[in-house]
Amino acid sequence: MRILILCTGNSCRSQMAHGFLQSLDPKLEVYSGGTEPATQVNPLAIKVMKEVGIDLCSHIPTHVNTYLGQEWDYVITVCGGARDTCPTFAGKVRKRLHIGFDDPSHATGTPAFIESEFRRVRDEIKEAFTRFYLTEIKNSAIHA
């Protein structure tokens, strides 16, 4: 099963979702991309994911155009910006979903507060993508 997760910068939310989904089932082909990819994965995203045993150090933000023309079982946007500007994957996507989250990289305040926002969003992503995996993928005929 091939899954593409998209957001604007491909540096926080889509990378965390990618990490969680891949950790739930290593047989899945999980990719992530951005409509305006950053130059690197956000260091706080790497830090908070490492706290839950998922290493994003080797992840690299990738432009969504890299994936055009490929077939996908799911294309999932995790931010409104990507949902609104994502290229059309017409005819090559079995299912397109939007599962939105706040962007922790836009948090302002003390370093402790900003880090807590990354943890909050991480935990929301874990919950949502675990639910997605259990309801959409685990019992899917495509996955079998």
Q: Is 7 a catalytic residue?
A: yes
Supply angle C-alpha 138, 142, 144, rounded to 5: 60
Please tell me the distance from the alpha carbon of residue 8 to that of residue 11, in angstroms, as a whole number.
Answer: 8
Catalytic residue among 4, 5, 6, 7: 7
Per the CB < 8 A criterion, the answer to whether 4 and 21 are in contact is: no
If DSSP codes are grouped into helix, strand and coil, which group holds residue 128? helix
Given the residues 46, 79, 99, 121, the one annotated as active site = 79
CB 114 within 8 A of CB 44: yes
Catalytic residue among 49, 86, 99, 125: 86
12: annotated active-site residue: no
Q: Is 57 a catalytic residue?
A: no
Quote the CA–CA distance of 117 and 12 in Å, as a whole number.
12
Catalytic residues: 7, 79, 86
